[in-house]
Amino acid sequence: MSATNEQWRVRVDPTRCIGSGICAGTAPGHFVLVSGLSRPLAERVAPDDALVDAADSCPMEAIIVSEADGPRRIAPEP
Ligand code: SF4
């Protein structure tokens, strides 16, 4: 698979999220708050630096961005 076909998987751990809304502010195209918890708008997405920023900004490290089809974690830094 070439780099242009790469997809990322986005997850929010609901047991860690405190509903700060930072991710929805940092990457409004990727996260929405539902009943006080963040939820990814889509689980499989094209690579987007805004996702890395959101994962790095989450105070609870609740956001995990990884390769969609592999084990490599993209953000936050392992
Ligand atoms: S930044 Fe983290 S804690 Fe805040 S709403 Fe998003 S996932 Fe939840």
Integer-rounded Cα Rg, in Å, for the chain is 12
Whole-structure pTM value: 0.92
- Measured from the Cα of 16, ligand 1's closest atom is 3
Distance CA 10, CA 8 (A): 6
CA of 73 to the centre of ligand 1 (A): 18
pLDDT in tens, the chain (78 residues): 555 689 999 999 999 999 999 999 999 999 999 999 999 999 999 999 999 999 999 999 999 999 999 999 999 987
CA of 50 to the centre of ligand 1 (A): 14
CA of 2 to the centre of ligand 1 (A): 31
CATH number at residue 70: 3.30.70.20
On whether residue 43 sits in a domain, the answer given is: yes
Token digits of residue 56: 């790095």
On whether residue 2 sits in a domain, the answer given is: no
On whether residue 3 sits in a domain, the answer given is: no
Q: In total, how many domains does the chain have?
A: 1
